[in-house]
Amino acid sequence: MTTLFLIGIGTGNPDHVTGQAIRALNAADLILIPRKGEAKSDLADLRRQILTEVLTAPVPVAEYDVPTRADQSDYLGAVNDWHDAIAKVWQDTIAARLPQGGKVALMVWGDPSLYDSTLRIAARLPGLSVKVIPGITSLQALTASHAIPLNTLAAPVTITTGRQLRDHGWPEGATTLAVMLDKGGAFTAIDPEGTEIWWGAYVGMPEETLIHGPLSEVSDRILTTRARLRAEHGWIMDIYLLRRGGDV
């Protein structure tokens, strides 16, 4: 039997790695590290840095190239095909390195349960037992960096994606929106009047950049800053909170 440990590592800051995660990494028979090309080589480097800091003895590491997702109009179909391809790479890599089975660890940004498809990919592998070790989510890192609560007093929070915000606008009845997986500027699709934004890129990392203010005043600055950071690093991870009609 092979057990896959999906280990949340926050935003890649070694200080975000929990004691439970450290124990799981040290107990692994194999650690998988995905590579996403030269433009995103920092992502693999951050995983290697974490291993350097937390491993007390050598653990075999297998690096693999992440298949590219097709750019097609059928978004869900393209994503499912992409997940199938990633699952095949995992299966082949694990079979080659651990033919008798064992414990495999894969480090996942944030929390594998929140707008992340790692669990869906793992479900495609037959005979695999999956255990999740949660980490600090990007939402936690964002609110901590801005020193704000996630919700207003006794009020709910809607967690959504940039695609949903751009295509469907502000959800009816919502006061606070947490927006993830935005390719850039989905907030420009909504009326900025009366909307406050707390934006962060690389939250919890040395490159952390934060902007807060009325959306009507800081929207252009966020777009300019995001484009500059993406050009500098070759990749960007950002998240933001939008709020209407309520105190912090």
For the chain, the structural domain boundaries read 2-136, 139-244
Mean pLDDT is lowest, of 71-85, 123-137, 142-156, for 71-85
Would you give the DSSP letter of residue 57? S
Question: How far, in Å, CA of 209 to CA of 199, rounded?
Answer: 8
In this structure, whether the domain defined by 2-136 belongs to CATH 3.40.1010.10 is answered with yes
What pLDDT, on a 0 to 100 scale, did the predictor assign at position 39?
Answer: 54
Split at pLDDT 50, 70, 90, the class of 26 is: very high
Q: What is the mean pLDDT of residues 171-183?
A: 93
Task: Name the pTM for this structure.
Answer: 0.85
What pLDDT, on a 0 to 100 scale, did the predictor assign at position 135?
Answer: 85
Q: What is the mean pLDDT of residues 180-202?
A: 94
What pLDDT, on a 0 to 100 scale, did the predictor assign at position 205?
Answer: 87
Distances (CA, A) of 220 to 96, 211, 216: 50, 11, 8
What pLDDT, on a 0 to 100 scale, did the predictor assign at position 109?
Answer: 83
What pLDDT, on a 0 to 100 scale, did the predictor assign at position 40?
Answer: 58
In this structure, whether the domain defined by 139-244 belongs to CATH 3.40.50.720 is answered with no
Q: What is the mean pLDDT of residues 233-241?
A: 90
Tally of helices (H runs) and strands (E runs) in the chain: 7, 10
Say whether pLDDT at 219 is over 70.
yes
Say whether pLDDT at 233 is over 60.
yes
Q: What is the mean pLDDT of residues 59-84?
A: 87
Both tokens of 153, joined, read 């007093």
pLDDT, the chain, mean? 90
Query: 3-state SS string over 88-100?
Result: HHHHHHHHHHCCC
Split at pLDDT 50, 70, 90, the class of 38 is: low
